Structure 1
Amino acid sequence: MASDEYPVKAVGWAEKTEYFSRRATGEHDVQFKMLYCGICHGDLHMIKNDLGMSRYPVVPGHEIVGVATEVGSKVKKINVGDKVGAGFLQESCRSCEMCTQNTENHCPNLTLTFGSTLPDGSITYGAVKFAKAFGAKVTVIGTSESKKKEAIEKLGADGFLISADPEQMQAAAGTMNGIIDTVSAAHPLMPLINLLKTKGNIIMVGAPDKPLELNTVALLLGGKSVIGSGNGGIKETQEMLDFAAEHNVVADVEVIRMD
């Protein structure tokens, strides 16, 4: 009996050992021991070169957490033994318009960091927790009923909408001030935009590998906006960490060993 064939596009490379030397810790540097790193959909994009910017070999994993082991003489805010983190942004020019406005995450000469040669748990969970901490009424939008209990009982959402249910979506039309879209796969935008009130915003955080279709008439008539947000700058990230500490906003973590 002939078996069905399911063609799969795969990316691979030959494993090899590479050596590099690390310079001595400078007066403005912090050296730290890496303990954990995140794995999100951005790593999947880099593995598959969905965004056309991958350089192989790629070791997935970024958003690093560790403990400071050596601190330069001119570093003021970090001491040896402190818990530290390193995000998606590694370096910027520090002198352009974006850098001087504390938005170095948009620097045209930035350097990104993956566990690789230099050139995602769901972010929805964090979005719900932060929104609740800000005092917002939060509705989670999912594709099926299976996530409803978790969204309401675990994350504290006030409501749940099934995007595949036209009656639910129609009943909620024009009721939302803003939507954070975390989906990293192709999906229809117009049903979400129809949920927005006049002057409402939809913020795109996911990075689908295919273009999304958008009818601009709905934006024009309702004064609505589509905004992109990939990551924040250093100042904004620190404000986020301070807010999380003050309001006990913590991440749901599943630890997976390398072996």
Structure 2
Amino acid sequence: MTHVKAYAAQSPTSGLTPSTIERREPGAHDVEIAIEFCGLCHSDVHSIRSEWGTTKYPLVPGHEIVGIVSRVGDSVEGFTVGQRVGVGCMVDSCRECDSCLEGFEQYCEVGMVGTYGAPDKRNGSVITQGGYSQAIVVDENYVLHIPEGMDPAAAAPLLCAGVTTYSPLRYLDVQDGDSVGVIGLGGLGHMGVKIAKALGAKVTVFTTSPAKVDAALALGADNVVISTDSDSMAGAKHTLNAILDTVAAVHDLNPYLRTLARDGALIQLGLPSEEMPAVEPGLLIRKRLAYGGSLIGGIAETQEMLDFCAEHGVVCDIEMVSASELDKAYDRMVAGDVKYRFVLDASTL
């Protein structure tokens, strides 16, 4: 075992404090990574504060990891010491179910192993610990190549926010000229705008804040709708082919469904901690609409997303934070005070 410095939560109210955790020695198929950067995701906040009610402590969050390969197992192929790599939201799955075999490991029918807070099926009762740490050891099948020339800090949030928005856009086969709506302009929303635009879509951003209009347009949005303005919402009626809902707070979906054209789809990405208002079936039936959800992306799709983003010059807009600023950054995330993702500089651990 190797001991590394980390920041961990000890309880729902403890915040994040300095800690030391153990990492296993690399096995035959393992890659050891010296962590450079780790993105801060809103799900990290939910997890350490036990807002989903499933947290086991102590917990080191972080599933948007970029670093340098420091050691590889004897049987590892495709990764060498010195390469820059990434680790996203999962570090294992059963590898045998239909979902895993088809490249959709995030939907593993046995249950994927999350990068933090999940029982490590191959190491007994060990709970996985994430990227707010100096190093991590991950099976080679769940490690990703960071394209050369991509800003490593700005690439880190792509491993969650990037693939979470890329995957449903690919699933819906969004094409050049399609019209895509994005609800919310936070960490997920700003990536939804950038990736949809890179796919050639016309993008409409829905926001409750008039102050975000200029920011949305600066990101490339073609149109901004203030969702609390009934006239503005009426003007968007039947105009969109697809909508990505990135909002993690409770809100009514029915006004947004009315902006979809026939055969349109609204895909839920944000996961509120409380029950949402019911969707009106008539809205779906009258225009053959679909309402669905999407969870991150598989390993191959995540690599595809990284390569796509590198080709189109897409990265996250970030603000760097030190380890001592993590709790403050969490409070700012909850308040929506970040453009658009915080990234931890792991050297400050």
Indicate whether the TM-score tops 0.5.
Answer: yes
Partner Cα separation in structure 2 for residue 193 and residue 149 of structure 1: 25
SS of the residue 1:255 aligns to = strand
2:304 to 223, 232, 239: 239
Within-5 A mapping of 1:28-67: 28-67=29-68
Give the match for residue 273 of structure 2: 209
Alpha-carbon distance in 2 for matches of 1:149, 1:24: 49
2-structure distance, mates of 1:207, 1:109: 18
Equivalent residue, structure 1, for 2:12: 11
Alignment of 1:97-246 (within 5 A): 97-107=98-108, 108-114=110-116, 117-118=127-128, 122-153=187-218, 155-213=219-277, 214-246=279-311
Q: Which region of structure 1 is more displaced relative to structure 2, 166-175 or 54-63?
A: 54-63
Task: State how far apart, in whole Å, the 2-side matches of 1:152 and 1:247 are.
Answer: 18
Q: Deviations over 1:77-107 (max 9, x none)?
A: 2221111111111110101111111111111
Q: Deviations over 1:41-84 (max 9, x none)?
A: 11121123222321122233321111111122332322211111
- The CA distance in 2 between the partners of 1:104 and 1:11, in whole Å, is 29
Deviates more, 1:24-33 or 1:170-179: 24-33
Partners of 1:162 and 1:17 in 2: how far apart? 42
Residue 15 of structure 1 and its aligned partner are, at CA, apart by 9.1
Note the alpha carbon deviations across 1:128-164, whole angstroms, 9 max, x for none.
11101100001111102100111112x1111100000
Amino acid at match of 2:67: G
Once the two structures are overlaid, the 10-residue window that deviates more, 75-84 or 110-119, is 110-119
**Contact between 1:55 and 1:118, CA under 8 Å: does it hold in 2?**
no
Aligned length: 249
Question: 1:90 is matched with which residue?
Answer: 91
* Superposition RMSD in Å: 2.3
Give yes or no for contact 1:200–1:225 (8 Å, CA) kept in 2: yes
CA contact (8 A) 1:61 1:115 kept: no
- In structure 2, relative to structure 1, the CA distance for the partners of 1:252 and 1:17 (3 Å cut) is closer
Offset of 1:220 from its aligned partner? 1.3
Aligned residues of 2:38 and 2:63 also touching (Cα < 8 A): yes
Q: Whole-Å Cα distance in 2 between the matches of residues 77 and 129 of structure 1?
A: 30
Q: Identity, % of aligned pairs?
A: 41
Report deviation, 1:229: 1.1
2:38 is paired with a residue whose SS is strand
Deviations 1:195-215 (Å, cap 9, x if unpaired)? Answer: 111110111110001121211
> Aligned equivalents of 2:272 and 2:117: distance in 1?
22
Give 3-state SS (helix, strand or coil) of 1:127's partner: helix
Give structure 2 stretches of 5+ with no counterpart: 1-10, 119-126, 130-160, 162-185, 325-349
The question of whether the paired residues in 2 share the 8 Å contact of 1:36 and 1:65 is answered with yes
Q: Is the 8 A contact 1:35 1:65 kept in 2?
A: yes
* Secondary structure of 2:85's aligned partner: strand
Corresponding residue for residue 3 of structure 1: none
TM-score when normalising by structure 1: 0.89
- SS at 1:177 equivalent: strand
Higher relative contact order (CA 8 A, sep 6+): 2
Whole-Å separation in 1 of the counterparts to 2:46 and 2:24: 31
CA offsets, 1:13-47, max 9 Å, x none?
Answer: 59999766443322211101011111121112112
User: Is the CA contact (8 Å cut-off) linking 1:13 and 1:57 kept in structure 2?
Assistant: no
Note closer, same or farther for the CA distance 1:179–1:14 as it changes in structure 2 (3 Å cut).
closer
What is residue 317 of structure 2 aligned with on the other side? 252
Higher-Rg member (1/2): 1
